[in-house]
Amino acid sequence: MKFPMTIAALALAALMPAADAAALSETGDPLASARWGEMEKSFLAGAPVLFDPRVKVIAPSMAEDPLQVPVTVDATQLGKVVEVLVFADFNPIVQVLRFYPEHASAYLGFRVKLQQSTPVRAAVRTADGIWHVGGTWVNTVGGGCTAPAGSAAAKDWQQRLNAVSGRQWSTGPNAGRLRLRIEHPMDTGLVAGTPAFHLEEIDFHDAAGQRLMRLQTFEPVSENPVFTLQAGENAGAVEASGRDNNGNAFRARIAP
């Protein structure tokens, strides 16, 4: 690692609680994945990288349903975040999603399909160009990426495509939280005879027209995806709009 990166790591450690500072590392994958070097080269090549305990990836250690594995990424302790990349080392399609928090917190909940046991990671790029990486191992029986979508069996799935339901909390401990569900099969393209068909991009804007978050989604996001974000207590009615890789668009308004 270059010397300037070591200086940056020391400066960060000085601002962190002792336990977190001790876990901060520039070298050595804490999850001991045989594919970490490949992941770093593919997604983070040439940029400084820190394994940072302040990047929290919350997921079950044992996932019984590989088609719907709940994951929450919380990077709110890092301050200003430019970009968050989520990937699973041993998935056949590694990249899960990217999100760009603007006027929303660097926080996102979602569900993912896993083909086998794997580290699930979040790489968080801050304004200084450093990637802060956190993650967790998820063990599962597997097969999530090569199983057909359940919606394929429903005769009316095309009529319900991109239908949106949502909720926004304005009071209580969840004040400022937004949850959105979109009807979509999210086909990976790994099932014989079924091409890749998935949501590609979702934008969230508050009532004043400010963009809260831009979200890019890929094939491993679970069918009928549910996204949870911290829109903020003053967001007002949030507008969500997006499209899939076939150009099908949606737009919805979620009021508090």
Q: Supply 162's token pair.
A: 């991109």
User: Domain 3-254 belongs to what topology?
Assistant: Immunoglobulin-like (2.60.40)
Report angle CA 135, 138, 140 to the nearest 5 degrees.
160
Alpha helices in the chain (DSSP H): 3-14, 18-23, 36-44, 157-160
Q: Is 206 left (phi over 0), alpha (psi -120 to 50) or beta?
A: beta
Q: Supply 19's token pair.
A: 């336990």
SS3 of 69, please? strand
Distance CA 7, CA 13 (A): 10
**Residue ranges of domains in the chain:** 3-254
Q: What is the pLDDT of residue 2?
A: 42
Query: By the 8 A CB rule, do 48 and 129 touch?
Result: yes
Q: What is the pLDDT of residue 57?
A: 98
Taking the mean position of all CA atoms in its chain, how far away is CA 100? 10
Q: Taking the chain (256 residues) in consecutive chunks of 10 residues, what is each chunk's mean pLDDT?
A: 53 58 72 96 92 97 97 96 98 98 97 98 96 97 92 80 95 95 97 96 98 98 98 96 98 95
Taking the mean position of all CA atoms in its chain, how far away is CA 81? 14
Q: What is the pLDDT of residue 13?
A: 54
Taking the mean position of all CA atoms in its chain, how far away is CA 31? 19
Q: Supply 40's token pair.
A: 């770093």
Q: What is the pLDDT of residue 11?
A: 55
Q: What is the pLDDT of residue 80?
A: 94
Q: What is the pLDDT of residue 1?
A: 42
Distance CA 148, CA 192 (A): 9
Q: What is the pLDDT of residue 145?
A: 97
